[in-house]
Structure 1
Amino acid sequence: MWAAVIGCLTAVAGCAPTIAVEPAAHADDAACGLVLARTPQTMDGHPQRQTTAQATTAWGDAGAAIALRCGVEQPGPSADCVSITYGDVTVDWIAQETTTGWRFTTYGRTPAVEVAVPSSLGLTQPGLTDLTDALASTIVTAHCT
């Protein structure tokens, strides 16, 4: 019986879409492995999916997925910097509206992490607090001013 259950679960998992995500410039940063190991299995109710690149993950479907890339270039200071506190941890993000949705990039953390949210999901700020545990392994170098 257990073999049948495992077979069914494997078949279902095999049908889940793989999300195409471009790797970041510094995706080979060892700390990205720690970040990815701590990412949540769901974000804003969307299940985590496999991706096509190192140091990336995504939540949702191929047509509309929240995509995370670790090891992106460090952003400079910006008026678009917002601080989000969850528990006793504060993470600073640069929030930018793009032609396809929103991009949130950690500010003052090494390695830098980017979260892209397509406009089709209707989110202007995804569950960034869900990433607090994952980002705890990054090094804080600056804060929003």
Structure 2
Amino acid sequence: MRALPRTLSALVPAAALMICLSGCASVVDVDPAEDAANARCADVMIALPPTVAENEQRDTNSQATSTWGDPSKVVLRCGVTVPGPTTDPCVTVNDVDWVVREGDPAWTATTYGRDPAVEVLFDPDEVASSTVLVELGDAVSRVDQSRACVGLSDATPAPSGG
């Protein structure tokens, strides 16, 4: 058996330490969505980026969930209730419609017109909403869109009673 070259033998313990450290990172506890087992969520999950808003992706303990940052700056759940018509603000970012609800401190952005729906929670003081929605857009667009947001000017007017 040949001896390992000196530089390679010095790297082996460092590699083992890195494997141990990466395995020691805490798993994030995230409640799964009602429809997390939907097969289309798998398409979303495998397309998620490894970083969002310069935060690294972390492991979670629930199906169809993901987080980025330590502590978590962005939390994603696939399979949440599909939003119906709403008066909440709806924004379109790179051909993905999102219903946005401002909270304190976390905001919630939920895909609109896609089944299953994807929900993203984030604090806009920690990460920019435009960055989060752009960086997650490719993954969530794996679920086909069947409806689109409409503005008040696009809505069908109520019949006049006169």
TM-score, structure 2 length as denominator? 0.78
Q: Which has the higher strand share?
A: 1
- Unmatched tracts of structure 1, length 5 or more: none
Task: Give yes or no for the alignment of 1:97 onto 2:114.
Answer: no
In terms of mean alpha carbon deviation, does 113-122 or 46-55 score higher?
113-122
What letter corresponds to residue 76 of structure 2 in structure 1?
L
- SS of residue paired to 1:130: helix
User: Which residue of the other structure, out of 126, 146, 156, is the alignment partner of 1:141?
Assistant: 146
Instruction: Output the amino acid matched with 2:54.
Output: G
1:58 aligns with 2:67: yes
1:9 and 2:18 aligned: yes
Partner of 1:130: 135
Confirm or deny: 8 A CA contact 1:75 1:107 kept in the other structure. yes
User: Between Structure 1 and Structure 2, how many residues are aligned?
Assistant: 140
Contact in 1 for aligned 2:96/2:141 (Cα 8 Å): no
Aligned residue number for residue 78 of structure 1? 86
Give, in whole Å, the separation in 2 of the partners of 1:119 and 1:21: 20
CA distance in 1, matches of 2:125, 2:23: 25
Q: Verify the 8 A CA contact 1:117 1:126 in the aligned structure 2.
A: no
| TM-score (normalised: structure 1) | 0.86
For structure 2, the residue ranges without an aligned partner over 5 or more in a row are 1-7, 151-162
Identity of aligned residues (%): 36
- Determine if contact 1:95/1:105 at 8 Å carries over to the other structure: yes
Question: Closer, same or farther in 2 for the Cα pair 1:44/1:122, shift >3 Å?
Answer: closer
Higher Rg: 2
**Deviant stretches of 4+, over 6 Å:** none
